[in-house]
Structure 1
Amino acid sequence: MSLADPTSDTTPFFSDDAEGEGSSDKDEGPSPQQQQQEEDSPSGLSKTRAFLTVGVLCYINLLNYMDRFTVAGVLPDIEHFFSISDGKSGLLQTVFICSYMLLAPLFGYLGDRYNRKMIMCFGIAFWSIITLASSFIAKDYFWALLLTRGLVGVGEASYSTIAPTIIADLFVKEKRTNMLSIFYFAIPVGSGLGYIVGSAVNDRAKDWHWALRVTPALGVVAVFLLVCVVKEPKRGAIEARPEHTLHRTSWLADMKALCQNKSFILSTFGFTAVAFVTGSLALWAPAFLFRAAVFTGEKVPCVKEPCDTSDSLYFGVITCISGVLGVSMGVGISQYLRKRTPRADPLVCAAGLLLAAPFLYLSIIFAQKSTIATYFFIFLGETFLSMNWAIVADILLYVVVPTRRSTAEAFQIVLSHLLGDAGSPYLIGVVSDSLKQADSYMWEFRSLQLSLLLCSFVAVGGGAFFLATALFIEKDRHRAENYIPSGVH
């Protein structure tokens, strides 16, 4: 089977003109029945292969977020090991997000033009090697840990900008929304598992370094599955608009079109608020809960490793459950309301953020009085916050034409992280340090408590952006569905 065969693993890595073209080669390949099924499917993949592809992508997405938040799960140990302040601790997440954010446009550009499967294989292999290397850093080299966390962003950027566009080329309408909801289940579940695995491995090994050695091994499995299972679909074919009829435009033309797309821009700003809040909570919530327990006398301070990481374990469980519930609620409510209004998606996103804000506020305030109430309000806040994940991705896919989707994903990643979780963990840490009036356990708790209150107000702002998106969503969706290129660039 030649590289140009539509039933093969799509285009060569350094070519973009073979996708969707036939071949006369008769090398060994799939059985005649499988070949016929794939030829009958507009995407070039059978239903079985399409579902397997989504399954592999979900596994990698789960692994992606699991690795991202393993560090947060053992943050008290890292702070003690390197003897660093809250501001420096926040940099661990910030350097990762900055690297991830800056490289997303590059991989978005490549993803719209070259073999997406090969790009993802490279990125995941690179990310696994760097994560493993970060687990061998000695205590005098905190800068090296920052460097490796930054390099991890290279691998994750190669995956996150591309994977949703592959799902978009496999399914349409309600089935696409369902597949995206499954894909985005991996965000809260993977995040929660990061806290859980980090805490459990740290407790078992009595060394936080071992927590960073779990995901690299699973990354090897991910690369194997990508190579053996995933086949790239034809771009846009499932929507009866093959990419060769749309014509690829220049990057500048793509960016100009995206900036004129009001629904895309406003929903991206709304998603930026989600990123700000989740980024802040992801890094600081377990540490805040631990400090609250020390403040109330329920736990003793961490004076030697390993620190008590039970709060990371509990927060991880809450994140998993609330995430699955929130994503399911968001998709279910959205699908129900779509029958009544075409503006359902942005309205559900707005409701999620506006409902999350007061519960997050209460969880922070109640931390000094009741641990049970704090966890309860965190659960409710995270549940409503998670209603956004799959819906925001679906909005992007139906208001942007297929040949610009990877670029749009990259643009959304850059903007949402630049103004969201690239700076929010560091900002929360710096504000906490500035509010600290004495070097005491009480002020370690109080200062972080006051700085985290900012998250509730940002959530309200995000809800306002989604309400504004609802004003333009019908027009922009209609324009994307009926897009006719003005010419070939």
Structure 2
Amino acid sequence: MAMSVSIVPIQNEFSLDARSAGLLLSAFYVSYALMQLAAGWLGDRFGARVILVFSVACWSVFTGATGMATTFAMLLVVRVLFGIGEGGFAPASSVTIAETFPKPERARAKSLVIGASFLGSAIGSGAIAALIHTHGWRFAYHVFGLFGILVAVVLWFAVKRPPRRPKQAGKAAFSALLRSLVLRKTMLIFFFANIVYVALVSWMPSFLIRVRHIDILHAGIASAVPYVVAFACLLLVGWLLDKVGQGRERVFMAVGATAMAVFIALMAYAESLPAMLTLWTLALMGYTVVYGTVFAIPLKHIPDESVGSAAGIINFGGQLAAAISPALIGVLMDLVPGSYVLPYAALLVSALGALVVALTWRPGSHAGGPGEAAGVAA
């Protein structure tokens, strides 16, 4: 979020073209994706508390370090380290929910956690834009880094110690999870959906500034509106998944992917700023339906001792897409300067890919017990 808002002044300071800016936006997601598999297993093996606090502390340190970079190479290195630090948070948060909530409440709990990231993005987009506008982008990163350290301290005392786990709990089921067709399809759905989401998040502020000629402060504020709506939508999705979603996950994911495809296609023809922001918000709402569902699946259908590993596998696919997406859009923008036809076409194809896989998704048997992890395979 911070990088997508600050990318324009960073481009100006380091004289970066769209391709280099896309590489910078993608660098974080490469290491973040690679961390998912290890972090998920570690969360299952040792519990969430240490992983959560370590992740928040690390990404806060590297947020502050971003403001100290003096070359493009330094920025790339810091972004990669940032991704390593933050990589453990998503699977560890799923482990925390599995340790704390009964299954009938977990979709709401997970939706609140991931929805909070949208709410944070809404607040953060405006806050970092204001800080950049008044004090410059480096100062903004220093402030956010310090705030993150304080959050890490609070988490250490707020998150309960994990229950004792069987020594082989996470390890024993990991290979079975990797063989699960349902889990692989869930990962693929999130892969396609995240190509769309990360492209929009990464490039929309730049689009508003360069094409719509909005200053960075108002671009940041305009970017915040869809996130507020996404937060509310995710809370509704979580509630629906808990109440009526069991066994209907395919419907939720297909509806969300369809909404993404429709509104991405319409965005290509939007001529006014209000129309663009409205369609962006609607596309993001479709994404939240997919997002909330794919992370409810392991919490609903996977044994508690393997939830972190399953969430890590799913998120690996999503973050691999996130590593590809900004760089891909940057290349497409450079191919036809001033035109957004190719980027929109790529996003539409990706949304349709999520829809096709979602329509083939079928839940497997869920007999329970130690073999349930393998039983998610269709």
TM-score, shorter chain, exceeding 0.5: yes
Name 1:231's counterpart in structure 2: 160
Quote how far apart the aligned CAs of 1:149 are.
0.9
CA RMSD of aligned residues (A): 2.2
Please give the alpha-carbon distance, in whole angstroms, between the structure 1 residues aligned to 2:348 and 2:123: 25
5 Å-filtered alignment, 1:62-101, equals: 69-101=1-33
Provide closer, same or farther for how the CA distance between residues 110 and 233 of structure 1 changes in structure 2, counting only shifts above 3 A.
closer
- Answering whether residue 107 of structure 2 is matched by residue 180 of structure 1, we say no
> Residue 280 of structure 1 contacts residue 452 of structure 1 at CA under 8 Å; is this kept in 2?
no
Name 2:376's counterpart in structure 1: none
Question: Which entry has the higher C-alpha Rg, 1 or 2?
Answer: 1
Please give the alpha-carbon distance, in whole angstroms, between the structure 1 residues aligned to 2:32 and 2:353: 24
Name 1:265's counterpart in structure 2: 184
Provide closer, same or farther for how the CA distance between residues 331 and 126 of structure 1 changes in structure 2, counting only shifts above 3 A.
closer
Q: Secondary structure at 1:192's aligned position in 2?
A: helix
Provide, for residues 425-444 of structure 1, a one-character-per-residue CA deviation record: whole Å limited to 9, x for no partner. 000001111122xxxxxx2x
Q: Which is further off, 88-97 or 125-134?
A: 125-134
Please give the alpha-carbon distance, in whole angstroms, between the structure 1 residues aligned to 2:85 and 2:203: 24
Q: Secondary structure at 1:343's aligned position in 2?
A: coil
Aligned partner (choices 134, 137, 140) of residue 208 of structure 1? 137
Quote how far apart the aligned CAs of 1:132 are.
0.9
Provide closer, same or farther for how the CA distance between residues 176 and 335 of structure 1 changes in structure 2, counting only shifts above 3 A.
closer
Provide, for residues 369-394 of structure 1, a one-character-per-residue CA deviation record: whole Å limited to 9, x for no partner. 21121111112111121122332211
Name 2:72's counterpart in structure 1: 142
5 Å-filtered alignment, 1:363-382, equals: 363-366=267-270, 369-382=271-284
Provide closer, same or farther for how the CA distance between residues 249 and 316 of structure 1 changes in structure 2, counting only shifts above 3 A.
same
Please give the alpha-carbon distance, in whole angstroms, between the structure 2 residues aligned to 1:152 and 1:465: 31
Provide closer, same or farther for how the CA distance between residues 122 and 259 of structure 1 changes in structure 2, counting only shifts above 3 A.
closer
Name 1:386's counterpart in structure 2: 288
> Residue 105 of structure 2 contacts residue 242 of structure 2 at CA under 8 Å; is this kept in 1?
no
5 Å-filtered alignment, 1:180-329, equals: 180-205=110-135, 207-234=136-163, 243-244=165-166, 248=168, 251=171, 254-294=173-213, 308-319=216-227, 321-329=228-236
Name 1:50's counterpart in structure 2: none
> Residue 74 of structure 1 contacts residue 309 of structure 1 at CA under 8 Å; is this kept in 2?
no
Q: Which runs of 5+ in 2 are unaligned?
A: 374-378
> Residue 63 of structure 2 contacts residue 145 of structure 2 at CA under 8 Å; is this kept in 1?
yes
- Answering whether residue 326 of structure 2 is matched by residue 425 of structure 1, we say yes
Q: Give the aligned residue type for 2:250.
A: P
Name 2:358's counterpart in structure 1: 466
Q: Secondary structure at 1:234's aligned position in 2?
A: coil
> Residue 37 of structure 2 contacts residue 309 of structure 2 at CA under 8 Å; is this kept in 1?
yes
Q: Give the aligned residue type for 1:312.
A: G
Q: Give the aligned residue type for 2:138.
A: H
Please give the alpha-carbon distance, in whole angstroms, between the structure 1 residues aligned to 2:137 and 2:117: 23
> Residue 44 of structure 2 contacts residue 308 of structure 2 at CA under 8 Å; is this kept in 1?
yes
> Residue 354 of structure 1 contacts residue 459 of structure 1 at CA under 8 Å; is this kept in 2?
yes
Please give the alpha-carbon distance, in whole angstroms, between the structure 2 residues aligned to 1:187 and 1:121: 16
Quote how far apart the aligned CAs of 1:256 are.
2.7
Q: Give the aligned residue type for 2:43.
A: G
> Residue 230 of structure 2 contacts residue 281 of structure 2 at CA under 8 Å; is this kept in 1?
no
Quote how far apart the aligned CAs of 1:335 are.
4.1
Quote how far apart the aligned CAs of 1:449 are.
4.5
Provide closer, same or farther for how the CA distance between residues 401 and 485 of structure 1 changes in structure 2, counting only shifts above 3 A.
closer
> Residue 199 of structure 2 contacts residue 326 of structure 2 at CA under 8 Å; is this kept in 1?
yes
Please give the alpha-carbon distance, in whole angstroms, between the structure 2 residues aligned to 1:427 and 1:410: 24
Provide, for residues 398-442 of structure 1, a one-character-per-residue CA deviation record: whole Å limited to 9, x for no partner. 222222222222222222222x11101000001111122xxxxxx
Q: Quote the sequence identity (%).
A: 24
Runs of 4+ with deviation above 4 angstroms: none
Name 2:261's counterpart in structure 1: 357
Q: Give the aligned residue type for 1:357.
A: A
Provide, for residues 213-259 of structure 1, a one-character-per-residue CA deviation record: whole Å limited to 9, x for no partner. 22212212222212222213426xxxxxxx54xx72574x5343113
TM-score by length of 1: 0.72
Please give the alpha-carbon distance, in whole angstroms, between the structure 2 residues aligned to 1:323 and 1:464: 23
Q: Secondary structure at 2:289's aligned position in 1?
A: helix
Provide closer, same or farther for how the CA distance between residues 449 and 208 of structure 1 changes in structure 2, counting only shifts above 3 A.
farther
Q: How many residues align?
A: 373
> Residue 363 of structure 1 contacts residue 374 of structure 1 at CA under 8 Å; is this kept in 2?
yes
